[in-house]
Amino acid sequence: MMNRISAGSNLSIDMTQEHWRLLSNGDGVEKILVEARPGQPLRYVATFGTQRRLPHNGTLSLDEVDRVVLGWSNRDESWHLGLMLKPELAQARGSRWCGLAFWPDPDTDLYRDLAARAGETLAQKLDRPFTLIPPRTDGAAPAYGTTHKPSAPATLPDLPFRIEHWKLERIDPMRLELKLSPAWGRARLLRVVWYMFWAGVFVVLSVASLSAGIAAPQPEFLPYAGLAGAAFLIIFS
């Protein structure tokens, strides 16, 4: 009796008592990519082996396979079926994981049993253990024994806190007040006195030039420029 399971990217898995096959259904033409038979090496086509950095002879001995794994990936919300290879082969290809098929499943349980059946059947054909890695629930310990340390809460600077001429003070346990510091008032008073002094100088010189009975200064607009400068200083003091 033949069982067929559809997977992502136009792949399907064909399972009988004699074999387990991963098929490609692209362009309307069915093609065997991977085949597993009881007691025999896992066979695959050249393109499949090249993409996954497998041996170029097109076969994977049973001794090179550690187990069959079906795991959930939060990154793409899919179930992934693959082989966990032995460390000796992993050193040559850079990874122990060899992916075979995947099932997009945002609900996490729509294709779980179907994918698990495909993984269990493959494990039986290869005479290797089957491992199911379910989605992590909130509060579950991270994989590989790692733990996340909670970050320390941010601390506020001690009050009162000064920002240039402003000062932040605590009025009571529930309220804060932002107000100008006394230094700002003193600086403003000095600036007003300084501007008024020079405004007075400009006014005196300009009036004296206009009211004097001597020849007008050259150029003639200088007294008026002095009055304008005095007005400017008064406005912005």
Angle between helices 182-211 and 222-235 (to 10 degrees): 160
Question: Measuring CA to CA, how many Å separate 25 from each of 1, 7, 78, 101, 155?
Answer: 21, 10, 20, 13, 59
* Contact between 99 and 80 (Cβ < 8 Å): yes
Q: Are residues 87 and 187 in the same domain?
A: no
Residue 187 lies in a domain: yes
Q: Are residues 16 and 72 in the same domain?
A: yes
Q: Are residues 35 and 111 in the same domain?
A: yes
* Contact between 67 and 123 (Cβ < 8 Å): yes
Half-sphere exposure of 155 (CA within 13 A, CB side): 4
Q: Are residues 18 and 121 in the same domain?
A: yes
Residue 35 lies in a domain: yes
The domain boundary residue, chosen from 136, 170, 191: 136
- For 132-170, write each residue's pLDDT tens digit: 999 877 544 444 333 344 455 555 556 665 666 666 666
Q: Are residues 17 and 132 in the same domain?
A: yes
Range of the domain at 199: 183-235
Distance, in Å, from the CA atom of 187 to the CA atom of 185, rounded to the nearest integer, reads 5
Residue 220 lies in a domain: yes
Question: Measuring CA to CA, how many Å separate 192 from each of 93, 171, 188, 196?
Answer: 78, 32, 6, 6
How many domains is the chain built from? 2
The more confidently predicted of residues 221 and 4 is 4
* 217 closest CA partner among 207, 203, 230, 229: 207
Q: Are residues 231 and 131 in the same domain?
A: no
> Model pTM?
0.57
The more confidently predicted of residues 168 and 10 is 10
Question: Measuring CA to CA, how many Å separate 84 from each of 61, 72, 89, 95, 130?
Answer: 13, 15, 10, 9, 10
- For 57-114, write each residue's pLDDT tens digit: 999 999 999 999 999 998 889 999 999 999 988 888 889 999 999 999 988 889 999 9
Q: Are residues 189 and 77 in the same domain?
A: no
Distance, in Å, from the CA atom of 218 to the CA atom of 220, rounded to the nearest integer, reads 5
- For 18-51, write each residue's pLDDT tens digit: 999 999 987 778 999 999 999 999 999 999 999 9
